[in-house]
Amino acid sequence: MIEVQNLTKTYPSQTAVADVTFSVKEGEIVGFLGPNGAGKTTTMRVLTGFLPPTSGTARIAGHDVLTHSKEARAALGYLPESAALYPEMRVTEYLAYRARLEGVTGPAVKSRVAEAVDRCLLGEVAHRKIDNLSKGYRQRTALAGALVHQPPVLILDEPTVGLDPTQIIKIREMIRSLGKERAVLLSTHILPEVDAVCDRVLIIDRGRIVAEGTPQELRSKLAGTPVIRAVFKGDVAVREALAGLSGVVRVEEERAAGETRARLECLPDADPSEDVFHLAVARGFVLRQLSREALSLEDVFVRLTRHDEAAPAPAAESAPTSEAAS
Amino acid sequence: MRRFLAIVGREWRAYFLSPLAYVILAAFLVCSGWVFWILLASLSGPNARAGQALLYLFTNTFVWIYLLFTVPMIAMRLFPEERKSGTIEVLLTSPVSEATVVLGKFTGAFGFFLTMWAPSLIYVIFLRAHTPIDLGPVASAYLGIALIGALFLSIGTFASVLTKNQIVAAILSFAMLIPIFSAGLLDVLLSDPSKTDLVNYFNMWEHMEDFARGVVDSRRLVYYGSLTAFFLFLATVVLNSKKETA
């Protein structure tokens, strides 16, 4: 539903997006992850027809955003950064306006507004002024505005920014249910969000896609040694016993606050956590905690977007030069 | 067309949902009521000529003051408000052309301008009760107000696309209105009669007097129509180019 081919957007002073290619299928939620200023918003603005690309193409539901801009724009719902709304309007008024603006006509306006209100759980505040709503409700109103005309493609720029944890969970649930029948591209710099919501992740940095895959794939691709952590009650000598388990490479032990904490570094693909449990049972140790330390997406992200001084800047202009040099 | 009407409707209603509209409306009514009272007082004096009431009502200096002051204030919020709140992005990514956006917003503001003038019909009704008034010139006088208002508003719309700041937009449109308005008054400086003709073509004061006398000259319609279209066109061009920096 969203197809992006070699998309580049340059400003006089900088390259915001450099040669980006990706696609989003129907029924898929793709997370666009990157630090601030990486080019997420610029890419989304090109996709929504707000900015023209410098080169490359982008299609929404088969319509080129440059040559068939109107058709492309009609097929998408866009939630811009910072939930832009008209504060003086009432929620239903605003949604009806958005529906009309998107070309919904006649009695359909009312039913679409009712559906959007239902879907985004806005029933309680439907007739209140947007100005008087809490931030969570405003964000939901903006989301409802993006989907009131039931577009096949949704582009959401930081949909959960500035919300409290309960609100974030609600919005995420909403997005997940929306993604079942649509193509959704959402941007975020919050990592757990991608884990919680997205089927696939694109990590963008300095205008380039530096990694792509499911959250699990990215983790395993970049993961080092798997690590297991075990916490036992009391002061127990477990080090040798643990080190004897198959798959365990190294054990670190630490005693504090009436606990013994062990950190087991394992061979790749090994998971001796069950053995740790059986060992504890057999020896009569009280096992308080047993966890597998997955490389968090955060670690993946930091590894990919860390800018070492020595690393050459991956700016578009420098690419040909470095090729020539090598 | 429906999308255009959606923009017009929202824009027009937005005025009445903000205190600004009521302040402008109230100030306008207070001032025009005051002027009307002065007018009545002077017309009821012994030296007043009969049948001139309408002419005075529409061609007194204050009419220009209302126009020059209220129009920048009506137009100043059109685009800066949308750009500040970010709703401009929503508007320009919906399947609507930039020209439709500019035209829709302008029409909404123009609707508010006409709403502002509507209560002044009461004065005509009052006058009619005491002095003979021909309704033809009343209609053409209002047409004149509408045409001049449309031109001024198109300039205000253009000014509001140029900046994110409402105050700056208001000052810019005021600064553009004054020269355009006063260009037609330059004839006092000229002695060459051939140039006077040219200057008279721009003389809004004179245009308004014609309208208030009931003279609807097609040259005036073309003049105001084409200038209004020109400024709205400029606004569309600027809106298009401003997206990069939004």
- Say if residue A153 is exposed, middle or buried (CB neighbours under 10 Å; 0-12, 13-18, 19+): buried
Do residue A189 and residue A127 come from a single domain?
yes
Cβ(B159)–Cβ(B71) below 8 Å: no
pLDDT in tens, A10-62: 888 888 888 889 989 888 999 988 887 788 888 998 999 888 889 898 999 98
Range among A274-288, A312-326, B188-202 with highest mean pLDDT value: A274-288
Residue B246: is its pLDDT beyond 70? no
Torsion of CA B192, B198, B199, B203, to 10 degrees: 140
Residue A310: is its pLDDT beyond 60? no
A323 located within any domain: no
pLDDT on residue A18: 87
Do residue A55 and residue A202 come from a single domain?
yes
Do residue A139 and residue A66 come from a single domain?
yes
- Measure the CA–CA gap between B210 and B214, rounded to whole angstroms: 6
Instruction: Establish how many alpha carbons lie within 13 A of residue B149's alpha carbon, considering only the half-sphere containing its beta carbon.
Output: 24
Residue A317: is its pLDDT beyond 60? no
Domain hosting residue A24, numbered range = 2-221
Over residues A183-190, the mean pLDDT reads 86
Closest by Cα among A67, A64, A123 to A95: A123
Which residues in chain A touch residue B88, judged by CB atoms under 8 angstroms apart? 84
Do residue A191 and residue A217 come from a single domain?
yes
Over residues B191-205, the mean pLDDT reads 74
A308 located within any domain: no
Higher pLDDT: B53 or B34? It is B34
A253 located within any domain: yes
Domain hosting residue B224, numbered range = 2-245
| Residue A276: pLDDT band with limits 50, 70, 90 | confident
Q: How far is CA A173 from the centre of its chain?
A: 13
Residue B9: is its pLDDT beyond 60? yes
A103:B3 CB<8 A: yes
Over residues B171-198, the mean pLDDT reads 80
Over residues B21-30, the mean pLDDT reads 89
pLDDT on residue B79: 93
Number of domains, chain A: 2
Please give the backbone phi and psi of residue B45, each rounded to the nearest 5 degrees, phi first.
-70, 165
pLDDT on residue A35: 80
Residue of A nearest to B17 (CA): A88
Number of domains, chain B: 1
Q: What percent of chain A has pLDDT over 90?
A: 17
pLDDT on residue A325: 37
Higher pLDDT: A224 or B112? It is B112
pLDDT on residue A320: 37
Do residue A14 and residue A163 come from a single domain?
yes
A115 located within any domain: yes
Closest by Cα among B164, B95, B243, B238 to A46: B243
Higher pLDDT: B45 or A99? It is A99
Instruction: Establish how many alpha carbons lie within 13 A of residue B78's alpha carbon, considering only the half-sphere containing its beta carbon.
Output: 35
Do residue A187 and residue A41 come from a single domain?
yes
pLDDT on residue A192: 76
Mean pLDDT of chain A: 82
Which residues fall within 8 angstroms of residue A75, CB to CB, at 6 or more apart? A60, A61, A63, A151, A152, A153
Please give the backbone phi and psi of residue B129, each rounded to the nearest 5 degrees, phi first.
-70, -20
Residue B154: is its pLDDT beyond 90? yes
A256 located within any domain: yes
Residue A304: is its pLDDT beyond 60? yes
Residue A321: is its pLDDT beyond 50? no
pLDDT on residue A307: 63
pLDDT on residue A314: 42
- Measure the CA–CA gap between B104 and A294, rounded to whole angstroms: 55
Mean pLDDT of chain B: 86
Q: Does A87 touch chain B (CB under 8 A)?
A: yes
- Measure the CA–CA gap between B224 and B207, rounded to whole angstroms: 10
Residue of B nearest to A103 (CA): B3
- Measure the CA–CA gap between B161 and B172, rounded to whole angstroms: 11
| Residue B73: pLDDT band with limits 50, 70, 90 | very high
Which of A11, A51, A86 is the closest to B87 by Cβ? A86
Do residue A13 and residue A161 come from a single domain?
yes
User: 0.95 cut: is pTM over it?
Assistant: no
Higher pLDDT: B38 or A295? It is B38
pLDDT on residue A113: 93
Q: Which of A221, A247, A275 is the last residue of a domain?
A: A221
Q: Does A10 touch chain B (CB under 8 A)?
A: no
A100:B86 CB<8 A: no
Higher pLDDT: B24 or A267? It is B24
Q: Does A302 touch chain B (CB under 8 A)?
A: no
A212 located within any domain: yes
Do residue A155 and residue A278 come from a single domain?
no
Q: What percent of chain B has pLDDT over 90?
A: 39
- Measure the CA–CA gap between B144 and B224, rounded to whole angstroms: 10
Q: Does B241 touch chain A (CB under 8 A)?
A: no
pLDDT on residue A172: 87
Over residues A110-129, the mean pLDDT reads 90
Q: Does B85 touch chain A (CB under 8 A)?
A: yes
pLDDT on residue A295: 61
Which of A74, A86, A145 is the closest to B95 by Cβ? A74
SS3 of chain A? CEEEEEEEEECCCCEEEEEEEEEECCCEEEEEECCCCCCHHHHHHHHCCCCCCCEEEEEECCEECCCCHHHHHHCEEEECCCCCCCCCCEHHHHHHHHHHHCCCCCHHHHHHHHHHHHHCCCHHHCCCEHHHCCHHHHHHHHHHHHHCCCCCEEEEECCCCCCCHHHHHHHHHHHHHHCCCCEEEEEECCHHHHHHHCCEEEEEECCEEEEEECHHHHHHHHCCCCEEEEEEECCCCCHHHHHCCCCEEEEEEEEECCEEEEEEEECCCCCCHHHHHHHHHHHCCCEEEEEEECCCHHHHHHHHHCCCCCCCCCCCCHHHHHHHHC
Q: Which of A170, A200, A221 is the last residue of a domain?
A: A221
A85:B87 CB<8 A: yes
Q: Which amino acid is at A229?
A: R
B93:A70 CB<8 A: no
| Residue B238: pLDDT band with limits 50, 70, 90 | very high
pLDDT on residue B11: 93
Higher pLDDT: B171 or A326? It is B171
pLDDT on residue A97: 94
Over residues B106-110, the mean pLDDT reads 96
State the nearest Cα–Cα gap between A51 and chain B, in angstroms. 6
Higher pLDDT: B45 or A252? It is A252
Do residue A104 and residue A253 come from a single domain?
no
List C-alpha distances in Å: A248 to A229, A231, A263, A268: 12, 16, 10, 10
Structure tokens at A191: 């990592």
pLDDT on residue B72: 93
Residue A236 region, left (φ>0) first, then alpha (ψ -120 to 50), else beta? beta
A73:B7 CB<8 A: no
List C-alpha distances in Å: A79 to A139, B36, B128: 9, 51, 56
State the nearest Cα–Cα gap between A129 and chain B, in angstroms. 10
pLDDT on residue A289: 86
Q: Does A68 touch chain B (CB under 8 A)?
A: no
- Measure the CA–CA gap between A202 and A215, rounded to whole angstroms: 10
List C-alpha distances in Å: A171 to A1, A71, A94, A143, A193: 23, 28, 19, 9, 11
Do residue A81 and residue A209 come from a single domain?
yes
Q: Which of A179, A201, A221 is the last residue of a domain?
A: A221
B94:A73 CB<8 A: yes
Over residues B86-102, the mean pLDDT reads 91
A304 located within any domain: no
pLDDT on residue A91: 93
A301 located within any domain: no
Which residues fall within 8 angstroms of residue B27, CB to CB, at 6 or more apart? none
pLDDT on residue A308: 53
Q: Domain holding A66: CATH number? A: 3.40.50.300
Residue A65: is its pLDDT beyond 80? yes
Q: Does A84 touch chain B (CB under 8 A)?
A: yes
B94:A80 CB<8 A: no
Do residue A191 and residue A232 come from a single domain?
no
pLDDT on residue B225: 94
Cβ(B245)–Cβ(B88) below 8 Å: no
Do residue A114 and residue A241 come from a single domain?
no
pLDDT on residue B211: 85
Closest by Cα among A200, A171, A188 to A27: A200
List C-alpha distances in Å: B44 to A186, B35, B41: 72, 14, 5
- Measure the CA–CA gap between B203 and B208, rounded to whole angstroms: 9
First to last CA, chain B: 26
Which residues fall within 8 angstroms of residue A267, CB to CB, at 6 or more apart? A225, A226, A247, A248, A249
